[in-house]
Amino acid sequence: MIKPLRKVLSLFFCATALFFHAFDVHAASSNMSDGQTEAQPSTLAAASTPKSGANAAVSMNTYKDIHGRSVQTDIAVFTAADQTSVTPAVSHGYEKYGAYCFRCHGKDAVGGAYAPDLRKSMANGMTYPQFLATVLAGRSAKGMPSWAGVFGEKDIHAIYDYIKSRQLDLIAGGSSPSG
Ligand code: HEC
């Protein structure tokens, strides 16, 4: 019983604080530049709709996977809707993966004797920032080398795009025609 009441109260105080904040800014607007005064309504709008604001930045692509199922992803895998050519990034990632990662993580990113299946890591929720941090730092005590100094962020993003495309079954093993 106490928790919902506290929630209502905190929402009330939050709304009151926003109201007075807006009022203060208005009262003090003579001391502010036009830019600062104009910024206020959008700040208030952002505060009241934080979720739609955050999601709006992510654009999703809808593709058909190799089994014909519809899949949504925030990475660009193909250059056109006919899905005949993968993006230069996915192609670049395939090459780098095949040169550096495959000997432990397995050919075609299916996992290997020495290291985990990275498709599973992604399916279990590994995000790009987590992937990037792991690849840069490595886990030397567990046999994962650090790739800082070998790859720049663009290469690592391309490898991520390639593995993600494999995880979502958007591309089969082996090389894909690239555009
Ligand atoms: C010498 C073998 C080796 C090579 C080469 C290698 N890795 Fe690893 N990697 C490992 C091992 C072993 C682990 C598991 C570490 C652990 O148990 O925490 C791992 C873990 C990872 C993880 C974390 C997976 C998870 O679920 O936590 C990522 C991401 C990763 N490797 C990416 C790469 C990428 C990208 C490349 C190529 C640029 C690469 N690795 C090359 C051995 C290797």
The verdict on the CB of residue 157 being under 6 Å from ligand 1 is no
The verdict on the CB of residue 134 being under 6 Å from ligand 1 is yes
Higher pLDDT, 33 or 161: 161
Residue bearing the CA closest to ligand 1, atom 36? 101
The confidence band for 128, taking pLDDT boundaries of 50, 70 and 90, is very high
The confidence band for 57, taking pLDDT boundaries of 50, 70 and 90, is confident
- Classify burial at 169, counting beta carbons within 10 Å of its beta carbon; exposed 0-12, middle 13-18, buried 19 or more: middle
Residue bearing the CA closest to ligand 1, atom 26? 121
d(CA 10, ligand 1 centre) in Å: 45
First to last CA, the chain: 60
Residue bearing the CA closest to ligand 1, atom 7? 144
d(CA 128, ligand 1 centre) in Å: 14
Listed residue (163, 170, 66, 171) closest to 118, CA to CA: 163
User: What is the pLDDT at residue 7?
Assistant: 55
Residue 105 pLDDT > 50, yes or no? yes
Q: Cα–Cα distance between 161 and 118 in angstroms, integer?
A: 12
CA distances from 168 to 53, 118, 127, 143 (A): 27, 12, 14, 27
158, two tokens: 């391309």
The verdict on the CB of residue 116 being under 6 Å from ligand 1 is yes
Residue bearing the CA closest to ligand 1, atom 21? 144
Q: Cα–Cα distance between 58 and 176 in angstroms, integer?
A: 26
Among 39-43, 55-59, 96-100, 132-136, name the one with the lowest average pLDDT: 39-43
- Classify burial at 52, counting beta carbons within 10 Å of its beta carbon; exposed 0-12, middle 13-18, buried 19 or more: exposed
If you average pLDDT over every residue of the chain, what do you get? Answer: 80
User: What is the pLDDT at residue 21?
Assistant: 42
Closest ligand 1 atom, residue 151 Cα: 38
d(CA 140, ligand 1 centre) in Å: 10
Q: Collect all residues with Cβ–Cβ distance below 8 Å to 40 and sequence separation of at least 6.
A: 22, 25
User: What is the pLDDT at residue 157?
Assistant: 98
CA angle (84 as vertex; 173, 121 as ends), nearest 5: 40
Of the chain, the percentage scoring pLDDT greater than 90 comes to 66
97, two tokens: 């993966």
Q: Cα–Cα distance between 175 and 63 in angstroms, integer?
A: 19
> Is the Cα dihedral 91, 98, 171, 166 positive or negative?
negative
Question: Quick one: average pLDDT of 123-151?
Answer: 97
Instruction: Tell which one of 105, 121, 127 to mutate to probe ligand 1, the residue whose CB is within 8 A of the most ligand atoms.
Output: 105
Q: Cα–Cα distance between 61 and 135 in angstroms, integer?
A: 26
User: What is the pLDDT at residue 15?
Assistant: 44
